[in-house]
Amino acid sequence: MHPAILQELFADLSNALVLYARGWCKNPEDAVQEAFIDLANCNPEPSSPKAWLYTTTAPPRLGSTPQPVAKHKTSLARNPVVATIWSK
């Protein structure tokens, strides 16, 4: 995904996604960051990034095991697009 598009999506949706994730998540900011990292690494790009972000930020389905947040810390460092957005 082009960095400008990712940055625009982050600016437009991150606060709303954090509010959305607060209903089910102890660390909503982490859940939103994970969703954006996953979007930056997504290939092919989703046809509707906004819907994809809400679906990805949604609570885990019953019977699934939530992924630990720590695995994405290294993903952030490896992805220059995401690192650029969060460094601003």
Predicted TM-score (pTM) of this structure = 0.66
pLDDT digits (tens, 9 = 90+) for 8-64: 999 999 999 999 988 888 889 999 999 999 999 998 999 999 999 999 888 765 444
User: Per-domain residue ranges for the chain?
Assistant: 3-57+68-79
Contacts by residues 52-57 (CB-CB < 8 Å, ≥ 24 positions apart): 53/9, 53/13, 53/17, 54/17, 54/20, 57/17, 57/20, 57/21, 57/31, 57/32
pLDDT digits (tens, 9 = 90+) for 66-83: 454 445 555 555 666 665
